[in-house]
Amino acid sequence: MISSKITGTGTFIPSLIKDNAAFLEEEFLNSDGSIFSSTNDVIIEKFKAITGIQERRYAIAEYTASDLAFFASERAIEDAKIDKEKIDYIILAHNFGDIKQGTIQGDMVPSLATRVKYRLGIENPNCVAYDILFGCPGWIQGVIQAQAFIKAGIANKCLIIGAETLSRVVDKHDRDSMIYSDGAGACIVEKTDQQDSGILSHASQTFAKEEAYHLYYGTSFNKNKDQNVRYIKMFGRKIYEFAITNVPTAMKLALDKSGLQVEDVKKIFIHQANEKMDEAIIKRFYRLFKKPVPEGIMPMSIHTLGNSSVATVPTLLDLVLKGKIENQEVHKGDVIILASVGAGMNINAIVYRF
């Protein structure tokens, strides 16, 4: 039976570091435009305690999301040791397109995937390039789509990328702006006949009732700003409650489909959105099996990289595979879970064996 396997990974982590102290002089406001009663140092300390974020990365002015995607893709292709002309699909997950520094309009024509194909110099017209908009779970969804193409017999090799420059769509008067960052991660997924490794199962869900607008585009909290300009906004508490309730069950659904036991899982790579939220998700996931959370099961990169949306999971995976996160390793035969939640509200999970 045909299966799909990740044969190479690559990451581009922007060079500009913005630590929490850089927000001390910002004017944070409530959604109605009123001033916070707490001082910025208190706001920042509470923010760090909840999210775990100490610093985040921003792209330099010259780079857009497709640039970051290109850099990560080059590294994934090199890691997989494949001929780029043999790639059948380039699937690029993002949410806001290419946004130049200092502008407010996203550019998605041509697609970012097409731009990456152009930058890579791929001449094969049968290499199909397209974008996917699926919130933060976009990269995982791209991997799921790649597997579908491979199982259908219409692809052998796919390049899946997650790239974002969220620093350019944040309202600096909104304290949630401290969460977001820039980055890109990519992988090569290839056809394999090995039944003991690769993608074993997956689950995807969309909740589109009142939760559909937990993440949205809204105006600045500073009412003196142009009210026609939109920024990324979220109902943080609602997202937290939604995620800790629904992500564990989606992960269990994927694991049940694989036929494996929870004890077989060695690592869980979860979207780096909020440290406390991720810890609560993992705790509830293991509670479904009446099991304690194994020590070291959840690698984290959010402390220094922030939340780069579609880029967090592929970046985290690449860093662990390349031995760049202390005390975190993946060995041949290990079973892992990749999981994410985001705008939509969308949830997905993949069970994978190396």
Give 251-263 as a DSSP string. Answer: HHHHHHHHT--GG
Please give the average per-residue pLDDT across 33-59, as a whole number: 93
Residues 210, 165, single domain; the answer is: no
**What is the arrangement of strands in the sheet containing 335-342, beginning at the earlier edge strand?**
198-206, 346-353, 335-342, 265-270
Residues 83, 71, single domain; the answer is: yes
255: number of Cβ within 10 Å: 24
Domain boundary among 162, 195, 228: 195
């810890």: which residue's tokens? Answer: 279
Residues 140, 37, single domain; the answer is: yes
CB 218 within 8 A of CB 230: yes
pLDDT of amino acid 55: 97
pLDDT of amino acid 7: 97
**Whether residue 161 has pLDDT greater than 90:** yes
pLDDT of amino acid 189: 98
Share of the chain above pLDDT 90, in %: 92
Domain boundary among 195, 225, 247: 195
pLDDT of amino acid 103: 82
Domain boundary among 195, 223, 251: 195
pLDDT tier at 261, thresholds 50, 70, 90: very high
Distance CA 86, CA 188 (A): 11
Residues 127, 234, single domain; the answer is: no
Distance CA 99, CA 164 (A): 9
Distance CA 15, CA 182 (A): 10
pLDDT tier at 105, thresholds 50, 70, 90: confident
Share of the chain above pLDDT 70, in %: 100
Q: For residue 47, which amino acid is it?
A: F
Distance CA 32, CA 35 (A): 9
Global pTM? 0.96
**Structural tokens at position 278:** 């991720």
Residues 60, 183, single domain; the answer is: yes
Residues 206, 297, single domain; the answer is: yes
**Structural tokens at position 338:** 């990749």
Q: What does each C-alpha distance from 291 to 274, 287, 298, 305, 350 come to in angstroms?
A: 23, 6, 15, 30, 20
Nearest to 92 by CA among 165, 58, 143, 126: 143
| First-last CA distance in the chain | 17
Residues 290, 215, single domain; the answer is: yes
Domain containing 307: what range? Answer: 199-353
Distance CA 32, CA 28 (A): 11
Q: What does each C-alpha distance from 317 to 76, 235, 279 come to in angstroms?
A: 12, 28, 18
Distance CA 37, CA 309 (A): 30
pLDDT tier at 2, thresholds 50, 70, 90: confident
Residues 37, 88, single domain; the answer is: yes
Q: Express each pLDDT in 288-302 by its tens digit.
A: 999 999 999 999 999
Distance CA 87, CA 255 (A): 29
What are phi and psi for residue 9, nearest 5 degrees? -135, 155
Residues 165, 30, single domain; the answer is: yes
What is the dihedral sign for C-alpha 264, 243, 53, 218?
A: positive
CB 252 within 8 A of CB 285: yes
162 Cα distance to chain centroid: 7
Q: Express each pLDDT in 83-103 by its tens digit.
A: 999 999 999 999 999 999 888
Would you list the DSSP string of 102-156? T----B-SS-HHHHHHHHHT---TTSEEEEE--STTHHHHHHHHHHHHHHTTS-S
CB 292 within 8 A of CB 286: yes
pLDDT of amino acid 193: 82
Please give the average per-residue pLDDT across 325-344, as a whole number: 95
Task: Point out which residues pair with 335 in neighbouring strands.
Answer: 265, 353
Distance CA 46, CA 41 (A): 9
Q: What is the CATH number of the domain that holds 204?
A: 3.40.47.10
Residues 272, 135, single domain; the answer is: no
Q: How many domains does the chain have?
A: 2
Residues 142, 218, single domain; the answer is: no
Residues 82, 166, single domain; the answer is: yes
